[in-house]
Structure 1
């Protein structure tokens, strides 16, 4: 191969290597975003479960007391209480957690839980 042909091919491998690196970076970022979303959804579900269970124990005291108890536990679990209502003897609690799947992007993950007495 002459020097003329070698100089024409210089840098081709570098461009391919950069493209492969960019693809790997994009896969890594999308994987991190999916993991953050799943983690946020799980945190919202746990907060909703604990809030609903705590509120169900306070139903005899009334909706206001039950929902105040739910709000306290939801906050303690790092979430925000979006909704709380009684449905007969059951309590429905909806929570929301703010997640940042990638820098500069903010989303909310929410979950709803129901708790009440066991029915036979």
Structure 2
């Protein structure tokens, strides 16, 4: 049986369409994994900053090295202290934490926190 003139052959179209759909699915999945990794990395950096500033504020009230205590707590939370400043009894800390594996490499995410006695924070 002959096809009418001008009628296209559609054989193989399902393979092309399913391959394109698979490519879109892989791209969306990789993007979701990347965004999730960045969100989790930032939360880890923020948690480390919060805990480090609290440890520093406690240490300064006890007469100990505030930034040393902050660094120790940040390290235990898989982060590092980028900046630590003590003003009276208020401790300001900036931490950095690396994300997990991402396509294209890991990122370093930063977060800041301040801690001190009530009434001394702005």
Shorter-chain TM range is 0.7 to 0.9
1:81 offset after TM fit, Å? 0.9
Aligned-partner Cα distance in 1 for 2:22–2:103: 20
1:89 offset after TM fit, Å? 2.2
Structure 1 segment 16-95 matched on structure 2, within 5 A = 16-60=17-61, 61=63, 65-95=65-95
RMSD: 2.3
Aligned-partner Cα distance in 1 for 2:100–2:12: 37
Aligned-partner Cα distance in 1 for 2:16–2:49: 49
Normalised by the size of structure 2, how large is the TM-score?
A: 0.85
Structure number having the greater strand percentage = 1
Alignment size in residue pairs: 117
Distance change in 2, residues 1:101/1:30 (3 Å)? farther
Which residues of structure 1 form unaligned runs of 5+? none
| Cα offsets for 1:74-109 (capped at 9, x unmatched) | 000011111100133210011001114523322111
Aligned-partner Cα distance in 2 for 1:42–1:9: 51
Secondary structure of the corresponding residue to residue 99 of structure 2: strand
Structure number having the greater helix percentage = 1
Which residues of structure 2 form unaligned runs of 5+? none
